[in-house]
Amino acid sequence: MPNIMLVVSAEMRNIALFQPRASSNDTTINYFFQVVCEQCGWVSLKEVCVSLGSGLYYLSFCYFLRYFHLYFVVNGCDRQGFILLIQGHGNPLSKHHCRKVGLMMFNCDGLIPITYLFNDGWLAVMTSGQEVHVDLVGREYKNVIDGEEVRITNLEAKFVPRG
């Protein structure tokens, strides 16, 4: 079961800190992404959604109870896939560290996340200390706040295997 890290990069102006609203361990932020089946290569047409705040227990055929955030049966090969979000591995982006920052660790079994979609629920702390709630559905944020240009652009996200 490989661990996959969601890695995020951004260009920021007048932003000191940038992260999901309550931290990378925020239980309310939703992660939207497409998945691919490890067995047959099937790719989901729509994005799946997982969050730390919602999980399920599954009684496997070996009669052990398993906790996960996503359970999916792949059409075609009938492979059962699981994804578990692992807290404690993410970091916020900062003005000095905004390239390839690990945001969330995914433990994957049968399904691998491939394409991440940004959403709302993000928090930017300006260099002045003021907090700004940010919606990243459009993949960027630009605003003038108290005479300061605030900008988050060139957002990139990818899933990287971690040992």
For 31-47, what is each residue's pLDDT tens digit?
889 999 998 998 988 88
Sheet holding 31-37, edge to edge: 48-50, 31-37, 111-117
Number of domains the chain contains: 1
For the entire predicted model, the pTM comes to: 0.84
Of 136, 113, 98, 127, residue with least CA distance to 20: 136
Six token digits for residue 145: 């706040």
How far is residue 154's CA from residue 140's CA, in Å, rounded to a whole number? 7
For 65-120, what is each residue's pLDDT tens digit?
455 566 677 777 877 888 888 888 889 999 888 999 999 999 898 889 999 999 88
The domain containing residue 129 runs over which residues?
A: 3-162
